[in-house]
Structure 1
Amino acid sequence: MLDRWTRLLENYIHTNAEQMMREPSGVLRHPYTVPSSPDSPYYSSTLWDWDSWFTTVALGQVEADTEQPGRFRKYEEGVILNFLEHTDDDGVMPILLKPDGPMLHGDPSRAGGFSENMHKPVIAQQAANLTRRAGTASFIEPHLPALERFLSRYLESHIHPETGLAYWQSDFAVGVDNDPSVYYRPNKSSAAVYLNSLLYRELLAYGYLLEEFGRKSEANVWRGRAQDLADAANEHLWDERDGTFYSADLNLRPIDGDDWLHAGAPRHWSSIIHRIDNWSSFLPLWAGFASQEQAERMVERYRDTRTFSAQYGVRTLSRLEKQYDLRASNNPSNWLGPIWGISNYLVFRGLAKYGFVEDARELAEKTVRLFGQDLEATGSLHEYYHPDSGEPIMTKGFQNWNFLVLQMIAYLEGRPVVAEF
């Protein structure tokens, strides 16, 4: 059965990958990619931030499997160029772009106090992925100043001074939409494991790009900033009691020396751990800043069928959490337990990176079975699924990071995996 689903998925993805390609339109002056087939109107014309990053990763495997290097190159480069051309002088990059312009929520500019979220820190990783595949970074060189403005904006307006952790400005468009450690939380209060893991890899990716142009001393400065962030995450997000990483709550009142009630023993802590078991707790394995000892403890939590381990992959929220809920929702998308292709993939990559080969293989096989059964039954893939039955919950025709199952197939078959940076 697994072999049949493998061949079915390969044929479907190799044939239908082009459905995600779009030609220049309106303010989108370069070709670009979207997350779904044309018959899924919610995603049919919009360029999204982290969605396009993982589309690029998946397309790399399509090109390798079909021996067609560069087949999608103009669309992949176009994604990056479209976003960089819409990055303002203060480094604010939109979360998404439509042909009629960027979608804005509030005022993310300097005048607005940079108080809104912007594009997730993945654009340098996207450029690094293309650079490694093509062997040249020439397309990005004219745009390095815009990329550096973007990363500098993150370090200036998204870093908590007391802890050194990155935080979300609000709960708008955070990717993992209704993560309880962010959703409905006060603004600037959530130092999410997800955001800190992405930013760590992003800073490393920018260092890699700088070194490609011979700028080694500058590259090392950015790598040093990545290490500072990793150190902060290990200090403030790792919970020795539970043996896992959690997001942190930064919503503490400032220390006031004139406050008689607290002056005798002011707080000596700068954050409080959110002990909410979310799939993103495993992202430090993907990012690579967890120690091997930490990974050994975390994998035991991953294997627990009471919490994360399900028939079809990784529950996006532990089944033991009060917020666990599998209902259909697309605004926000539901990450309170359903199986998503991207969470399965990133946890799989972390397991493989730290040497948990059997766990990685099992998760890859579960994902092949999930998508293979869906494709066989409905002729399509969906956005997310019931963790125990594998039944699709939302958005028929969703493609995007579901196509990363190709990387899992390559891993299972012992072939080269075209991985993200």
Structure 2
Amino acid sequence: MLDRWIPLLEDHIRTNCEQMTREPSGILTHPYTVPSSPESPYYSMALWDWDSWFISVVLGQVEADTGRAGHFGAYEEGVIRNFLEHTDTDGVMPILLKPEGPVLHGDPSRGAGFSENMHKPVLAQQAALLARRRGSAEWLRDDMPALGAFVSRYLESHVHAETGLAYWQTDFAIGVDNDPSAYYRPAKSTASIYLNSLLYRELLAYGYLLEELDQVSEANIWRGHAQNLADAVNEHCWDERDGTYYSVDLNLRPIDAEDWLHRGAPRTWSSMIMRIDNWSSFLPLWAGFVSQERAECMVNRYLEPETFHAQFGVRTLSKLEKMYNLRASNNPSNWLGPVWGVSNYLVFRGLQKYGFEREARDLAQKTVRLFGQDLETNGSLHEFYNPDTGEPIMTKGFQNWNFLVLNMTAYLEGRTMVTEF
């Protein structure tokens, strides 16, 4: 079946990837990309943050496969410039842009105390990916101060002083919408393993761009920030008992030396591990700051069929968690167990990075099977799926990171695989 599905998917993606490109419109003064074909109106004109990053990874693979280097460059560069043009002087960048204006939830500005979430820390990674493919970052030189303000904003207003971990301001628009580690929890209380893994790579990417522009001393400062974050994650998010990484709870009362109840034995811990088993626990493998010994523990957990390891990929929440369900939902989208293309891809990349080739290959094949049977049966791909049957749950016409299966087929066939930075 793989022999049939691989060419079917490759032809579909190479033919239809153009549907994710858009020309300048309204406030979006540069060409850009969207997550879906026009038949899915919810996504048809909107420029989203982490979605556009993965679209760039896919478009790079299409260019490599078809010998059209630079074919999509204007759209990828346009995404970056559109976001930077709507970034304020304090580095606050919108999560979502539409031709009629940015979509904001509350006030993310300095006056409001930077108390709302903003663009996820992936824009420097997207820029670094494009710079690496072009062989130069010179096109970005004039925009580096705005990009630096954005990355600095995370360090200045999204990092917990006691632990050094990054936290979500609220549970709004975190990407993995209803992740129980953050969803319905108090503001500023979740140091998400997902967020911290993304931010680690973002800091490295910004350092890479600086070095490409001959700012080596500044680059090393940002690499130092990345190492500090990795050290904090390894200290506070690793659970020796379970052999995995978890998000942690920061919602602790401050130590008060005058508090008669606690002053005799004040707490010596700065966070509490939340033992909620979701796919984000594997993201440190993708980020690359895990020891080989810890990676082996994590792969053993990944392979447990009663938790994550399903017929069609990675359950986004362990089947043993009480919150596990597979219902269709949008805004928030459902990450309580369904298989998503992006979670399959990022876990696949983590397995590959740490040399677990058999497991990586198996997950790539499962993803081909998932999307191949959907395309063959329904003529389209969907947003998320039943992990045991592969049945689509919702959003016909969704493309976006599902098209990363093209990068997986390149891996399976021994061709050059384009990867994220």
Q: Give the shorter-chain TM-score range.
A: over 0.9
Aligned to 1:176: 176
Distance in 2 (CA, whole Å) between partners of 1:90 and 1:199 is 18
Name the CA distance, whole Å, in 2 between partners of 1:47 and 1:274: 33
User: How far apart, in 2, do the equivalents of 1:331 and 1:181 lie?
Assistant: 17
SS state at 1:102 partner: strand
Q: What amino acid sits opposite 2:383 in the alignment?
A: E
CA RMSD after TM alignment: 0.4
Q: Give the secondary-structure state (helix, strand or coil) at the position aligned to 1:97.
A: strand
Shift of 1:140: 1.0
Q: Which runs of 5+ in 2 are unaligned?
A: none
Match of 2:387 in 1: 387
Deviation at 1:416, TM superposition (A): 1.1
The amino acid across from 2:412 in the alignment is L
Give me the whole-angstrom Cα distance separating, in 1, the residues matched to 2:40 and 2:139: 31
Q: Secondary structure at the match of 2:61?
A: helix
Q: Distance in 2 between matches of 1:414 and 1:169?
A: 42
- In structure 2, how many angstroms separate the alpha carbons of the residues matched to 1:132 and 1:4? 33
Could you tell me which residue of structure 2 aligns to residue 157 of structure 1?
A: 157
CA distance in 2, matches of 1:152, 1:352: 31
List per-residue Cα deviations over 1:97-119 (Å, max 9, x = no partner): 00011001011000010000000
Give the Cα–Cα distance (whole angstroms) in 2 for the partners of residues 254 and 339 of structure 1.
39
Supply the distance in 2 between the matched residues of 1:257 and 1:137 (Cα, whole angstroms): 52
| Residue pairs, 1:363-382, within 5 angstroms | 363-382=363-382
Supply the distance in 2 between the matched residues of 1:199 and 1:384 (Cα, whole angstroms). Answer: 25
- Is 2:32 the partner of 1:21? no
User: Is 2:293 the counterpart of 1:290?
Assistant: no
The number of residues matched between the two structures is 421
What's the CA shift string for 1:33-53, capped at 9, x where partnerless?
000000100000000000000
Deviations 1:124-149 (A, max 9, x none): 00000001111111221110000000
Equivalence for 1:304: 304
- Distance, in Å, in 2 between the alignment partners of 1:331 and 1:87 is 24
Residues 1:133 and 2:130 are matched in the alignment: no
**C-alpha distance in 1 between matches for 2:309 and 2:215:** 44
The residue identity in structure 1 corresponding to 2:376 is E
Instruction: Please say which of residues 129-138 and 4-13 is displaced more in the overlay.
Output: 129-138
Cα distance in 1, alignment partners of residues 12 and 21 from structure 2: 16
Residue by residue over 1:278-324, the C-alpha shift from the partner in whole angstroms, topping out at 9 and shown as x without a partner, is 10000000000011000000000000000000000000000000100
After TM superposition, give the deviation of residue 93 of structure 1 in Å: 0.2
**Aligned counterparts of 1:127 and 1:62: Cα–Cα separation in 2:** 18
| SS of alignment partner, residue 97 of structure 2 | strand
Who is 2:75 aligned against?
75
In structure 1, C-alpha distance between the alignment counterparts of 2:249 and 2:216, rounded to whole Å = 36
Aligned to 2:267: 267
Code of the residue aligned with 2:134 in structure 1: it is A
Identity of aligned residues (%): 76
Q: How does 1:321-360 map onto structure 2 within 5 Å?
A: 321-360=321-360
| Corresponding position of 1:211 | 211
Equivalents in 1 of 2:132, 2:91: separation in Å? 25
What SS is found at the alignment partner of 1:376?
helix
Secondary structure in 2 matching 1:53: helix
2:249 is the counterpart of 1:249:
yes
Which residue identity does 1:348 align to in structure 2?
Answer: F
Secondary structure (helix, strand or coil) at the match of 1:393 reads strand
CA distance in 1 between partners of 2:380 and 2:136 (Å): 35
1:3 Cα deviation after fit:
1.1
Q: For 1:241-279, what per-residue CA distance to the aligned partner results, in whole angstroms no more than 9, with x for missing partners?
A: 000000000000001111100110010000000000010
Provide the C-alpha distance between the structure 2 equivalents of 1:18 and 1:53, rounded to a whole number of angstroms.
16
Q: Distance in 1 between matches of 2:318 and 2:326?
A: 12
Q: Which residue number corresponds to residue 124 of structure 1? A: 124
Secondary structure of the residue aligned to 2:388 is coil
Paired AA for residue 382 in structure 1: H
Aligned mates of 1:224, 1:119 — CA distance in 2 = 23
Is 1:8 the counterpart of 2:8 in the alignment?
yes
State how far apart, in whole Å, the 1-side matches of 2:222 and 2:35 are.
Answer: 31
Where in structure 2 are the equivalents of 1:41-52 lying within 5 Å? 41-52=41-52
3-state SS of paired residue (2:358): helix
CA distance in 1, matches of 2:398, 2:260: 57
CA distance in 1, matches of 2:3, 2:65: 16
Gaps of 5+ in 1: none
CA drift at 1:414 = 1.1
